[in-house]
Amino acid sequence: MKLAIILTACLFGTVFAQEGLPGGWNSLSTDDSTVNQLAIKSVNHHNSVNNSAYYKKLVKIQEARYQVVAGFKYEIKFLIGKTECAKTGNYTDSCQVAVNSPTELCTYVFWMPPVDKDRITSFDCVATNEDVLEKHLTINCEVFIN
Ligand SMILES: *[C@@H]1O[C@H](CO)[C@@H](O)[C@H](O)[C@H]1NC(C)=O
Ligand SMILES: *[C@@H]1O[C@H](CO)[C@@H](O)[C@H](O)[C@H]1NC(C)=O
Q: Where are the domains of the chain?
A: 24-144
Residue type at 96 in one-letter notation: Q
Q: How far is the CA of 4 from the centre of ligand 1 (A)?
A: 52
Counting atoms of ligand 1 from 1, which one is nearest the CA of 52?
Answer: 1
Strand locations in 18-131, DSSP E? Answer: 26-28, 54-68, 72-86, 103-112, 119-127
Determine the pLDDT at residue 134: 53
Separation CA 124–CA 8 (nearest Å) = 40
Binding site membership of 51 for ligand 1 (Cβ less than 6 Å): yes
What pLDDT score was predicted for residue 124?
96
**Residue 142: predicted pLDDT:** 38
Is the CATH number 3.40.630.190 carried by domain 24-144?
no
pTM for this one?
Answer: 0.74
Stretches where the chain sits below pLDDT 70 are: 1-22, 129-146
Ligand 2 neighbours (beta carbon < 6 A): 89-90
